[in-house]
Amino acid sequence: MKIDTLIVSANELVTMDTYGGRVPLRGSKMQDIGLVENGAVAISGQEIVAFGETHDLLSELEIDGDTRIIDAKGKTVTPGLVDPHTHPVFAGTREKEFAMRIEGKSYMEIAAAGGGILNTSRLTRQMSIDRMIANGSKYLARMITHGTTTLEAKSGYGLSTESELAMLQSIKYLDQTEKLDLVPTFLGAHEIPEEYRDGRADEYVELVIEEMLPFVAKKELAKFCDVFCEAGVFDIEQTRKICLAAKKLGLGIKLHADEIKPIGGAELGVELGAVSVDHLVEVSPEGIEAIASSNTVAVLLPGTSLFLGKGKFAPARDLIDAGAVVALATDFNPGSSPTTNLPLIMSLACTAMRMTPKEVWPAVTLDAAFAVGLGERIGSITIGKQADLIIWDAPNHSIVPYFYGESLAEMVIKKGKIIWRK
């Protein structure tokens, strides 16, 4: 076999391959991140074909003059990061609401007064697809510098059939043209649009079910359907209706669940067989139990808690100790979490949610891959998986969340190719 690239002498290789890389690491197993000292990884084409201790690999493999050797002495090598919850296509910014919150207004008060998601929606509806793509591309370029190689990307600022489809088309275009992979999620039920606010929320739910979803499914514009299931937005019954319709059309389910009020979003997600339930700041003990006894991934977004100034974070410890699969995401969006920096989210998970510097790694690689339905292909350094790898300017895995707010990614490899270097 021809080895195209060989990374050698990594101080630490974080493989996540402890259990073969084909099942998520849950509960206490999140500590078993598969460390190899003085590690090496061999790439052929787009795939990982071997990994292990450097001396072993050098003696086993046939290396010729064409093999690119990358010396990772003193560095840490990990799988590429997967950001499993983002809203990267939108118009404008919401720094005025940021100031309003500092002065004491809550996220839901601002939303009720026509700000929030509707504010971004007004601007996004007027945006051309070309501008959506250009704007999204700018933010994706920032994500790469932090080590993200795959992200989930939601629509949800169009809130009309035409504009939601435009958002999904721009996400599809970005996936095809950018160096990162995007997993598209339809979030038509992100907010009740202005023109349905005269008590016609159920009519909007009908529009999502009867018109938007069939279009999205027919044109294969999304892999998942998501709903902002929250008191004052879409209630449990409306959410269930939308999700059942989406499932019938072959879409997977993700939910914004139990962020502000514990209304049973997590339990509903598990009942529906959702691939993930996200936010969970207010999840109930029953919700935690339900998640822990299922394959649904709990996607936690501590950046959102920080940026909304809530002082309250999702119960990561309770979830992990109950045996749940836990992932972390930026929730990148213009309102509640304008950061593209996933390593910063790892730091926050450690300090604010008491996840260990080991547990945060599966949460942004293997378990995050399962949260977007790609656990079989990415998220670990496993033979046969896609060669998405990061070389960090860090001697061990703990140093990445330790230097919080920094960007220690030094080289980003996607499908076997170097796509970015410092």
Site residues for ligand NIG per CB under 6 A: 87, 116-117, 120, 228, 256, 259, 304, 331, 333-336
**Min. distance of Cβ 334 from ligand NIG in angstroms?**
6
Q: Which stretch binds Fe ion (CB under 5 A): 100-108, 213-221, 327-335, 376-384?
A: 327-335
Q: Which residue has the tokens 């937005």?
A: 233
Q: Rounded CA gap, 422 and 409, in Å?
A: 8
Number of residues this chain uses to bind Fe ion (CB under 5 A): 1
Residue type, 154: K
Q: Which residue has the tokens 């339905």?
A: 373
**Residue placing its CB nearer to ligand NIG in the complex, 15 or 120:** 120
Q: Rounded CA gap, 401 and 405, in Å?
A: 8
Q: Which stretch binds Fe ion (CB under 5 A): 167-175, 191-199, 330-338, 361-369?
A: 330-338
Q: Residue of minimal CB distance from ligand NIG?
A: 335
**Residue placing its CB nearer to ligand NIG in the complex, 13 or 280:** 280
Give the distance, in angstroms, between the CA of residue 401 and the centroid of all CA atoms in the same chain: 17
Query: Does position 331 bind Fe ion by CB under 5 A?
Result: yes
CB 48 within 8 A of CB 383: yes
Q: Rounded CA gap, 269 and 255, in Å?
A: 7
**Min. distance of Cβ 140 from ligand NIG in angstroms?**
18
Q: Which of ligand NIG, Fe ion, none is residue 147 near (CB under 5 to 8 Å by kind)?
A: none
Pairing mode of beta strands 35-44, 47-53 = antiparallel
**Min. distance of Cβ 93 from Fe ion in angstroms?**
16
**Residue placing its CB nearer to Fe ion in the complex, 181 or 259:** 259
**Beta-bridge partner residues of 417:** 414
Q: Which of Fe ion, ligand NIG, none is residue 365 near (CB under 5 to 8 Å by kind)?
A: none
- C-alpha triplet 81, 409, 46: angle, nearest 5°: 55
**Min. distance of Cβ 259 from ligand NIG in angstroms?**
6
Q: Which of ligand NIG, Fe ion, none is residue 369 near (CB under 5 to 8 Å by kind)?
A: none
CA-based nearest residue to 383, from 133, 85, 10, 49: 49
Structure tokens at 306: 């920080």
**Min. distance of Cβ 116 from ligand NIG in angstroms?**
5
Give SS3 for 281: coil
**Residue placing its CB nearer to ligand NIG in the complex, 73 or 96:** 96
CA-based nearest residue to 363, from 384, 382, 348, 383: 348
**Residue placing its CB nearer to ligand NIG in the complex, 77 or 187:** 187
Q: Which of ligand NIG, Fe ion, none is residue 117 near (CB under 5 to 8 Å by kind)?
A: ligand NIG
Structure tokens at 297: 């991934």
**Min. distance of Cβ 219 from ligand NIG in angstroms?**
24
**Residue placing its CB nearer to Fe ion in the complex, 212 or 329:** 329
**Beta-bridge partner residues of 148:** 81
**Min. distance of Cβ 96 from ligand NIG in angstroms?**
13
Query: Does position 388 bind Fe ion by CB under 5 A?
Result: no
Q: Which of ligand NIG, Fe ion, none is residue 305 near (CB under 5 to 8 Å by kind)?
A: none
**Min. distance of Cβ 187 from ligand NIG in angstroms?**
8
**202 phi/psi in degrees, rounded to 5:** -65, -30
Q: Give the ranges where 314-409 is alpha helix by DSSP (H).
A: 316-322, 342-353, 360-364, 366-371, 399-402
Q: Which residues bind Fe ion (CB under 5 A)?
A: 331
